[in-house]
Amino acid sequence: MQPYDPQPIEARWQAWWKSHQTFHCPNPGEPGFDASKPKYYVLDMFPYPSGAGLHVGHPIGYLGTDIVARRKRMEGFNVLHPMGYDAFGLPAEQYAIQTGQHPAETTAQNIATFRGQMERLGLSFDWSREFATSDVDYYRWTQWIFARLYDRGLAYQTEVPVWWCEALKTVLANEEVIGGRSERGDHPCVRRPLKQWMLKITAYADRLIEDLEGLDWPESVKAMQREWIGRSEGAEVRFPIAGGKGEALSIFTTRPDTLFGATFMVVAPEHPLLDRLVTPEQKTKVDAYVAEAAVKSDLERTDLAKDKSGVFTGGYCLNPAFDPADERARLPVFVADYVLISYGTGAIMAVPGQDQRDWDFAKAYDLPIVRTVQPPADFDGEAFTGDGPAMNSGFLDGLGVAEAKARMIAWLAEQGLGEARVTYRLRDWLFSRQRYWGEPFPVLHRPDGSHQRVRDEDLPVALPHMTQFAPPDDGSPPLSKATDWLAVHDPVSGETLQRDTDTMPGWAGSCWYYLRFMDPHNGSAPFSQEAVRYWNQVDLYVGGAEHAVLHLLYARFWHKVLFDEGLVPTKEPFQRLFNQGMLQGFAYKDATGRLIPVDEVDGEAEPPVLKASGEPVERIVAKISKSLKNVVNPDDVCQRYGVDTFRLYEMFMGPLADSKPWNDRDVPGPRRFLERFWRLFVDPDSSDRLRPNLLEASQGAAVGESLELEKQFHRCLQRVNDSFEHFNFNTAVAAFMEFVNVATKSVGALRRDQAERLVCAIAPFAPHVAEELWSRLGHPPSVCFAPWPQVEASYLVDEDFELVVQIMGKVRARARAPQGANQDELAALARASIEDRLEGKQIVKTIVVPGKLVNFVVR
RNA sequence: GGGGAUGUGGCGGAAUCGGUAGACGCAUCGGACUUAAAAUCCGAGGGCCCUUUGCGGGCCAUCCGGGUUCAAGUCCCGGCAUCCCUACCA
């Protein structure tokens, strides 16, 4: 008796893979490296090792890449498929503070948990390349790359108003603050000026847009990146300050064509020229407004979107489009917080006729509105932002928007009043954190405030071990308390220098880890040129859509800097990007719309009801979360059903790109499939290791039932191959199921060669059972390097097919038709099959789709 | 407000090009095996209706409404719903 029993099989083969280093992938020059094979680099976005371990949602992408990696190996590629940990950063530190342990300890524990869980899933990573970004042997080179940025002038320190989170005791990047609250933990944040490290990503803005072109990425991600960079073309125009001594207020506009329609101006509350513009009579009001705005920016300044607020400064500027003597040239200047200091020049010309925000402000403060673009006759909106002929615009009148823009820019340049300018929404990257758990900056400060970087040979600057690593209450960085680490004697100058006490943000380590994987143990360089020239770039990068902008933009930026340094051969790091969908769970919702955790509901009842009160509730799809109690641990599923079942189920749920809910009830399906699959090879009632028909070598071409199986197999394999195109492995699993259903009916007809190819085909999906059967078939391990079976097109066509016969597009009959039949033959065949229905009708038209159907159009 | 994605049975989902809607699986129901149950195996199944002893047949069905076409889940136009991203960027 030997029914399918996954646990011993899975344990045995995982141990075998580990002891034989099956998935170890040597680099060029190392023993075992085969230069004749092409390379393939398939990478997962590495995880942040949280304390909770993996739930069933995490590995779905890893399973997808594992299947790709395993198939590529069978197809004869050298496959680079590594895994590591994004271990530095705020959450690790928060977790450590909460648990009262040092982050180095908690990180090590969490990594051990993750590693164990991933190994149990049979993922074919080359574990010899594993590292964490918090390893000193790794972040040494992160610091080294920072030094390259420093040398190129791409890293600089400046005093900037930054988001400060009191609860987290740290500065946060703009993108980590949402509506005035921290993305992590949802704590309130305030703006504070602080000296910060910045990386000049804006210098690469155009290249970051342009090089998206050649990438095989989802269009949505490309669009998000373009929008995030937010390139906009326009003009900078100088408006002389009325009564000033040649000073001018510079503004940026994308609509220079509307210059004649400017009726007032607005500066941001933080604008440097504000003091110059304010008149004594208005000073009190303006000061009050500026103070209010400073506080308001801490709260949701954006939530006040509808009601524009502002105060007249008392000052005026002159619209350069008009003669200074012209009444229309005199524009009052307001201060208002809908203008942002950090974008453009922090000041605008307001053109209410063509800008809704300006319209709103003009209405609120009773300012004049002049249309300079003729709206269509049926236009009933307020500001008109569309195209149309210019009006009230002097030399521009009658021109379309594009032409008018060009003329105005030319005129401004000629008059020395302004010029074409491009601005970006993208800001430089705020790169320092006042926290402990991150890469120290390799920078030394002199008493005079100047700084120099640590020489390459003095790297790494190791993070000192501290027992008091929580941020001090005074807001200073934890490293400033590491007194015996701080001071450095410089043997060259004889000076005593101070180490930089900030650390890099969590994003730093993930900017180049994919390169380190190419050569992870290199002690003399971040990676060797030989390794990077061989592995070149990541061929397939899989991860969640939540990294569509930040991580991918930052990594592309660093990669381009390394490209400019001549250190990497490609402009872009990731050739193909794929976002897996989110795995969701079930939860319940009561009549008021409140979400109910699964453990409070009797889900078997129809409809489901609250256990406590019997109140009916509705089952909904929701996020997997601790609070909804719908977290499922993959270890439990593997324990109960086996790893191969878990893998097949996750792939069978739906296309990898889609979000879909985990459903415990569906898991037995794939398990039953594997049992049927097993019985195809092993008779559970016998003690034989294999069915007798599989022991004999196959003789000659398949005939009869075996031929039918052969055809069926090629059809199955075709679908399996196709599924790799869009990662809809659910269809591959379905194809295997169909084949096994058919093969089960003629078990004795399955030939040995067919069985062998079947095992190979399923190996990437269910590697343990495949390895076991491959071995029972008498092959030495491992099936991981057995050849991927080939589809032969000749087996995909039958001699005849089912011809669908339609009348007026409705199916009325079906008939068997020979494959090679021509149109006339098919039409005749179809007509014969529905003779009675055509009686008394006149055939107006006959449409024949060879191999498919015939449609009669009748009257 | 802007951008993107999605919408097919009780559920997860199939359906390269416009060409048999609902593959495969779950759950359900029926049958076989069993002292019994589980497991397993076999079978049924979108809705409404007509007819018949059974066979059979018709109509309606892919979020809603239009359109193109011999033919629409698929293409076009207009809505609705859900989810994600983004939010005064001048």
CB contact set of A561 (below 8 Å; sequence gap of 6+):
A145, A148, A149, A152, A154, A204
Task: Give me the mean pLDDT over the A151-163 stretch.
Answer: 88
How many angstroms separate the Cα of A29 from the Cα of each of A449, A537, A651?
48, 19, 37
Count, residues in chain A: 859
Helix or strand holding residue A430 (H, E):
strand A429-430
Nucleotide nearest to A655 (CA to C1'): B13
Nucleotide nearest to A849 (CA to C1'): B19
Nucleotide nearest to A855 (CA to C1'): B70
Nucleotide nearest to A258 (CA to C1'): B90
CA of A661 to C1' of B66 (A): 35
Among A162-171, A640-649, A797-806, where is mean pLDDT lowest?
A162-171
Q: Positive or negative, the Cα torsion across A347, A349, A350, A353?
A: negative
What's the pLDDT score for residue A585? 87
Nucleotide nearest to A856 (CA to C1'): B70
Distance (Å, rounded) from C-alpha A554 to C-alpha A506? 11
What's the pLDDT score for residue A174? 63
Q: Are A110 and A51 in contact (CB under 8 A)?
A: yes
CA A282 from chain center: how many Å? 50
* A284 burial via Cβ count (<10 Å: 0-12, 13-18, 19+): exposed
| A634-641 vs A643-652: helix crossing angle, rounded to 10 | 120
Residue with CA nearest to B71's C1' atom: A809
Q: Are A358 and A225 in contact (CB under 8 A)?
A: no
Q: In the structure, what pLDDT confidence band is assigned to residue A298 with cuts at 50, 70 and 90?
A: very low
CA of A340 to C1' of B1 (A): 18
CA of A225 to C1' of B4 (A): 13
CA of A379 to C1' of B66 (A): 26
Among A12-26, A93-107, A725-739, where is mean pLDDT lowest?
A93-107
Q: State both tokens at A9.
A: 């099989």
Model confidence over A230-239: pLDDT tens digits? Answer: 998 999 999 9
Among A78-87, A303-312, A388-397, A508-517, where is mean pLDDT lowest?
A303-312
Instruction: Find the distance separating the first CA and the last CA of chain A, reported in whole Å.
Output: 67
Task: Give me the mean pLDDT over the A585-602 stretch.
Answer: 81
Task: Write out which nucleotides of chain B lie closer than 7 A to a protein Cβ.
Answer: 3-5, 11-16, 19-21, 23-27, 39-42, 58-59, 70-72, 83-90
Residue A536 pLDDT > 60? yes
How many angstroms separate the Cα of A276 from the Cα of each of A46, A239, A267, A271, A360?
52, 14, 12, 10, 26
Nucleotide nearest to A251 (CA to C1'): B90
Distance (Å, rounded) from C-alpha A196 to C-alpha A156? 8
Distance (Å, rounded) from C-alpha A736 to C-alpha A726? 18
What's the pLDDT score for residue A606? 65
Nucleotide nearest to A658 (CA to C1'): B6
CA of A666 to C1' of B65 (A): 37
Fold of A800-858: Ubiquitin-like (UB roll) (3.10.20)
Task: Give me the mean pLDDT over the A247-263 stretch.
Answer: 93
CATH 1.10.730.10 at A1-21+632-796, yes or no: yes
| Helical spans, DSSP H, in A588-692 | 634-641, 643-652, 668-681
Nucleotide nearest to A854 (CA to C1'): B19
Nucleotide nearest to A847 (CA to C1'): B70
CA of A2 to C1' of B71 (A): 53
Distance (Å, rounded) from C-alpha A747 to C-alpha A526? 56
Q: In the structure, what pLDDT confidence band is assigned to residue A293 with cuts at 50, 70 and 90?
A: confident
A116 C-beta neighbours (distance < 10 Å), count: 12
CA A842 from chain center: how many Å? 59
Q: Are A118 and A83 in contact (CB under 8 A)?
A: yes
What's the pLDDT score for residue A302? 52
Residue A531 pLDDT > 90? yes
Of residues A809 and A149, more confidence is placed in A149
CA of A665 to C1' of B13 (A): 15
CA of A297 to C1' of B69 (A): 58
CA of A604 to C1' of B2 (A): 43
What mean pLDDT value characterizes chain A?
A: 89
φ and ψ at residue A380, rounded to 5 degrees = -125, 15
CA of A244 to C1' of B4 (A): 49
Among A428-432, A574-578, A686-690, where is mean pLDDT lowest?
A686-690
Nucleotide nearest to A814 (CA to C1'): B20
CA of A622 to C1' of B83 (A): 10
CA A472 from chain center: how many Å? 35
Residue with CA nearest to B89's C1' atom: A425
Distance (Å, rounded) from C-alpha A115 to C-alpha A129? 13
What's the pLDDT score for residue A673? 95
CA of A812 to C1' of B45 (A): 22
DSSP code of A752? H
CA of A279 to C1' of B65 (A): 61
| Helical spans, DSSP H, in A75-102 | 90-99
Fold of A231-424: Isoleucyl-tRNA Synthetase; domain 2 (3.90.740)
How many angstroms separate the Cα of A782 from the Cα of each of A127, A501, A608?
18, 52, 48
Model confidence over A195-229: pLDDT tens digits? Answer: 889 999 999 999 999 999 889 998 889 988 988 99
What's the pLDDT score for residue A375? 86
Residue with CA nearest to B58's C1' atom: A812
Residue with CA nearest to B85's C1' atom: A224
CA of A138 to C1' of B18 (A): 55
Residue with CA nearest to B72's C1' atom: A809
Tally the C-alpha atoms within 13 A of residue A516's C-alpha that lie toward its C-beta. Answer: 31
Of residues A746 and A532, more confidence is placed in A532
φ and ψ at residue A63, rounded to 5 degrees = -65, -40
Q: Which long-range contacts (CB under 8 A, 24 or more apart) does A209-213 make?
A: A211/A556, A211/A560, A211/A571, A211/A572
A66 C-beta neighbours (distance < 10 Å), count: 25
Q: Are A739 and A716 in contact (CB under 8 A)?
A: yes
Nucleotide nearest to A175 (CA to C1'): B86
CB contact set of A264 (below 8 Å; sequence gap of 6+):
A331, A332, A333, A334, A350, A361, A362, A367
Q: Are A28 and A531 in contact (CB under 8 A)?
A: yes
Per-residue DSSP letters for A243-273? TSSS-EEEEEES-GGGGGG--EEEE-TT-TT
CA of A619 to C1' of B28 (A): 19
Among A123-132, A182-191, A266-275, A359-368, where is mean pLDDT lowest?
A182-191
CA of A816 to C1' of B62 (A): 28
Q: Which of A296, A263, A456 is nearest to A366 (CA)?
A: A263
Q: In the structure, what pLDDT confidence band is assigned to residue A175 with cuts at 50, 70 and 90?
A: low
Among A512-521, A730-739, A839-848, where is mean pLDDT lowest?
A839-848
Task: Give me the mean pLDDT over the A148-168 stretch.
Answer: 87
Phi-psi region of A378 (alpha: psi -120 to 50; beta: other; left: phi over 0): alpha
Residue A138 pLDDT > 80? yes
Fold of A22-144+509-580: Rossmann fold (3.40.50)
Residue A271 pLDDT > 50? yes
Distance (Å, rounded) from C-alpha A263 to C-alpha A363? 12
**Cα radius of gyration (chain A):** 34
φ and ψ at residue A393, rounded to 5 degrees = -130, 35
Task: Give me the mean pLDDT over the A336-353 stretch.
Answer: 90
Of residues A461 and A859, more confidence is placed in A461
Among A164-168, A318-322, A556-560, where is mean pLDDT lowest?
A164-168
Nucleotide nearest to A662 (CA to C1'): B12
What's the pLDDT score for residue A678? 93
Q: Which of A834, A839, A838 is nearest to A803 (CA)?
A: A834
* A184 burial via Cβ count (<10 Å: 0-12, 13-18, 19+): middle
Q: Which of A449, A486, A581, A640 is nearest to A7 (CA)?
A: A640
Nucleotide nearest to A722 (CA to C1'): B16
What's the pLDDT score for residue A303? 52
CB contact set of A805 (below 8 Å; sequence gap of 6+):
A811, A812, A813, A814, A815, A830, A833, A834, A853, A854, A856
What's the pLDDT score for residue A148? 97
Question: Could you state, in order of their start, the residue ranges of all structural domains in chain A?
Answer: 1-21+632-796, 22-144+509-580, 153-203+429-499, 231-424, 585-626, 800-858
Q: In the structure, what pLDDT confidence band is assigned to residue A299 with cuts at 50, 70 and 90?
A: very low
Model confidence over A770-795: pLDDT tens digits? Answer: 999 999 999 998 999 999 999 998 88
Among A45-59, A408-422, A587-601, A752-766, where is mean pLDDT lowest?
A587-601
Per-residue DSSP letters for A470-536? SPPTTS--GGGG-HHHHEEE-TTT--EEEE---B--TTTGGGSHHHHTTSTT-SSSSS-HHHHHHH-
CA of A158 to C1' of B90 (A): 26
Q: Are A337 and A309 in contact (CB under 8 A)?
A: yes
CA A758 from chain center: how many Å? 35
Q: In the structure, what pLDDT confidence band is assigned to residue A724 with cuts at 50, 70 and 90?
A: very high
Helix or strand holding residue A576 (H, E):
strand A574-580
Residue A417 pLDDT > 80? yes
Among A346-350, A458-462, A602-606, A707-711, where is mean pLDDT lowest?
A602-606
